[in-house]
Structures are given as structure tokens and as C-alpha cells.
Amino acid sequence: MSLNVPEYRLDGIYRQRQDGFFMQRVKLAAGVIPAVQARRVAAVSNRFGRGTVHLTSRGSMEIHWLQEADLPEVKRELAAVGLTSRGACGGAVRGVTCSSQGAAGFPAVETMARRIHRHFTANPRFERLPKKFKIGVEADATGRRHLIQDVGLVLSCRDDSGARYDVYVGGGLGKEPQPGFLFESAVSENRIIPLIEAIARVYAAHTPAGKRLKHLLREKGEEEFRRLVALEPTASEELPAVSGLQENLVRVPGDRRIVARIFAGALTADQLIELADFADQWADGIMMATADQDIAFHIAAAHEPSQASAALAHCSFSAGPVAIRVCPGSHECRMGLSATREVARSILDAVGPAGRSKSWAISGCHNSCTQPQLADIGIVTSGLSKDETGERTPHFDILRLGREGFGKVTEQSLTLAELCRVVREIG
């Protein structure tokens, strides 16, 4: 059996850098995953891969080192516990992300993320888009992650009709980062899905293949884009209010949250099983893959968070001393220009006490999958140069985050040694 490239991308599968191996990405709405599903991800990795799981900065999970012949069985195994990968890669609505899982408004946000995830996943009207279409739902704007989505929602208020969201459109990172702009304020939750449909249709109809929504915004301008969206029949449609039982799985927001900080988002499958067991014991069986590539838990009301923290300290995952997001880079990704986990270790060796309190992000190429523009200190592998022996070595740009918007490039084209020297000066 040989799968053609567009089809397997829509199933959340990329070819790895290593010939004959594939990565399977699993979509999680707002990063929330029950322990029973996490155990299945781990089991699939142990059975078909090499027993590793990568946590992404969009709250998804990736299983590497899969072989082509096993991909249908992997899909069945994941589907058997209700997990989907449809649209996790390729020109589709990607996993709906949330970086504010600890906020008081998270239950409403999780509910919204689940509805969007359910509506757009495997919906043929919204597959085969020109490129990826990213949606994020946030309880507040503090993390600025709403600015990097094709559609970013920020919970603004609640009234008798339910939650309302500020809707940001046209953001994205990559080589030409562009913050999303405020498209409409305080949109009723019952209008969100039809409005996203209208935006996605305009995107699909007017954007060349391979280009993001931000490209269309640059071409048409905000005014013309708004006009096109307004012409769509669903642009102002309001769906009936949803009734029935609550959809959110996380019931306890706020200060009962504890985080298992995972170095570089890299877990073994057995460590993931251990964390799933922890979730069953302390957190109502619910885990959260965070936007910082960690695993978080809201400790159930019946337990003391301090006791849960003590129990978590006995788990065997490799806790990172610094908050650092790291993509797979040249370890597994075909686009990777640097061995990002090794770069991260060099940075951790070099960084002093002041640097340890900052957030860091390392990306293996300009695609910026770890969102280096939103870390206190972002590192982008910007290219390769040949040394005198002909060996190719990566070089790096450093970005520093200011009070608003995206981080700006402060140093360019550094070797790893030069990068570490700058990191040491940060303290």
C-alpha cells in the first residue's frame, strides 16, 4: 500500500526526516485528554513506534517512528477510544488550541473549543483549504496566543445568551509573522461557528494554494476582506443555543492546577502512562497537554493540591528546570535545520539564574512551530552555513519579547557558541 501525500496529511500524518518513517499527530480540543485516551496514545507508540510521545505547542500529541503499513491500524486504535487525527496536518482546520487552561473562564472556553473541533473535524466543506487553518480559544489575552491564529477567540464577557468572544483574524508566524486584527468584539457564542465558516469560505475562495489567511489579508486589505465575509450567508447567522449536559471535562479551574513540566515536550510512552495513572488518582482522570508542551492537571476537590504535588514529584518524567518549548527539529522533522533538543541542552547549561525565570522557545526553522515570537527569549534556526571542512552548521536568530505584539529579532545568524555566549550574558 502506498499513500499519496495530500491524503495522509489530512489524516494528521507527516513523513519524517528518516526515510520510511511517519509521524502521527493527534488533535485534542483545548489540549484536554482523558487518562484512558492518553494510555491509548502511549500504547500505540509502544506497539507501532519507538515508545516516545512529543507534546506540541498547540496542545496536540505526536507519535513518531511509525511505518506506513501500520498507519491504518494506528488510526483504528486511536479511533477506538474516540481520538481523531483528521485535519491535524495539511489544508484543514487544525487542532483547536488554548493556552489559558488555568483561568477561571476555562470551562466555557473548553466547551467552545469542543464545539469548534467537532464541527470542523472531518467536515469535507473545510478540508482541502489552501493551507493550514488555525483556531485558538482563550479565556484572556495575556498570553497573546490569540494573535497567532487564523481565527483567535478571547472570552470577553457572559450574559443571558451565554459567553461572548472577541474575534481576531489573520494572525500567523513563520517567516513573515503577522498579528491578527480585531475583526469583531463580543460575538455571541451562538454566532462563532457560522462566522468561522464564513471566514474559512472567503479564505478558500480567494487565496492561492499554499498560502495562509494572512496572505489574503495582505493582498485584499482589511476593508475588502470584511466586505467579502459580510457577503457570506452565515456571516451573521446565529445558531440556536445548545442545551443539554455540560460538555467541558475540566471542572475545577484556578488555583488547584499543577503542572508536570516536561523537558522539550519529550515523554516516553511509559511516562505518559504514569501521568495518566496520576490523573486517575488525583484529577478526575483528566489531563491537559499545555501550550508550553507540559502536562497539567486540575486537582479534584476531594484532594489536597499540596499532596498531589508531592505525589507528582515521585513520577519519573524528566522535569525541565526552565520553561522551554522545543520542536522536533532535525531529530525527526524534514524541515529541521538544527538538532533542537541538543541546542536546548546547551542553552540550559549556559543560562544563569536570571535566565531560568524566563520562558524560552527554540524552533528548528523559520516555520516557528514553538512560537518563539511569544517567548521571553525566542531562538529560531535561521539557516545553515558551511565551515572550512564543508560541514554544514546551523545558525540562529534571537528574539526578545516586548510589552506588546511579537518578539523582535535582536541578534542574527549566531553560531551555537555565539548563541550560548549571549545566553550566559542574559544571566
Interface contacts to ligand SF4, rule CB under 6 A: 327-329, 333, 335-336, 363-365, 367-369
C-alpha distances in Å from residue 151, one per residue of 170, 203, 248:
7, 11, 21
Residue number, 89 or 196, with CB nearest to ligand SF4: 89
Reduced to 3 states (helix: H, G, I; strand: E, B; else coil), residue 312 is helix
Shortest Å, Cβ 66 to ligand SF4: 17
Helix (H, G, I), strand (E, B) or coil at 361: strand
Nearest distance from C-beta of residue 293 to ligand SF4, angstroms: 12
User: What is the distance between the alpha carbons of residues 173 and 145, in angstroms, rounded to a whole number?
Assistant: 11
For residue 71, how far is the Cα from the chain centroid? 23
Which of 64/214 has CB closer to ligand SF4?
64
Shortest distance, CB of residue 364 to ligand SF4, whole angstroms?
A: 3
Q: Kindly tell me which of 34 and 394 has the beta carbon lying closer to ligand SF4.
A: 394
Q: How far is the CB of 341 from ligand SF4 (least distance, A)?
A: 11
Alpha-carbon radius of gyration of the chain: 21
Smaller CB separation from ligand SF4, 107 or 172: 172
Give the shortest CB-359-to-ligand SF4 separation in angstroms.
17
Question: Within 10 Å of residue 68's Cβ, how many Cβ atoms?
Answer: 15
66-72: long-range contacts, CB 8 A cutoff, minimum separation 24: 66/13, 66/21, 66/22, 66/23, 66/24, 67/20, 67/21, 67/22, 68/1, 68/2, 68/3, 68/20, 68/22, 69/1, 71/3, 71/8, 71/11, 71/13, 71/22, 71/24
**To the nearest whole angstrom, how small is the minimum distance from the Cβ of residue 327 to ligand SF4?**
3
**Nearer of residues 213 and 369 to ligand SF4, judged by Cβ:** 369
Rounded to a whole number of angstroms, the minimum distance from the CB of residue 396 to ligand SF4 is 13
Q: Are 193 and 239 in contact (CB under 8 A)?
A: yes
DSSP string, 216-284: HHHHH-HHHHHHHHHHSTTTT--PPPP-SS---S----STTEEEE-BGGGEEEHHHHHHHHHHHHHHST
Q: How far is the CB of 366 from ligand SF4 (least distance, A)?
A: 7
Nearer Cβ to ligand SF4 (136/328): 328
Nearest distance in Å: CB 40, ligand SF4? 24
Q: Which residues contact 389 (CB under 8 A, 6 or more apart)?
A: none
Find how far residue 338's CA is from the centre of its chain. Answer: 20
Q: Which is nearer to ligand SF4, 91 or 102 (CB)?
A: 91
Sign of the Cα torsion 366, 370, 372, 378 reads negative
Burial class (CB in 10 A: 0-12, 13-18, 19+), 413: exposed
CB of 52 to ligand SF4, least distance (A): 15
Bridge partners (DSSP) of residue 386 are: 392
Beta carbon of residue 365, minimum distance to ligand SF4 (angstroms, whole number): 3
d(CA 360, CA 326): 9
C-alpha closest to that of 303 among 256, 255, 261, 250? 256
Closer Cβ to ligand SF4, 214 or 257, answer by number: 214
* Number of residue whose CB is nearest ligand SF4: 364
Residue type, 294: D
Comparison of 87 and 328: residue with beta carbon closer to ligand SF4:
328
Nearer to ligand SF4, 320 or 378 (CB): 378
Determine how β-strand 52-55 pairs with β-strand 61-66: antiparallel
**Residue number with CB closer to ligand SF4 (156 or 367):** 367
Looking at residue 70, what DSSP letter applies?
G
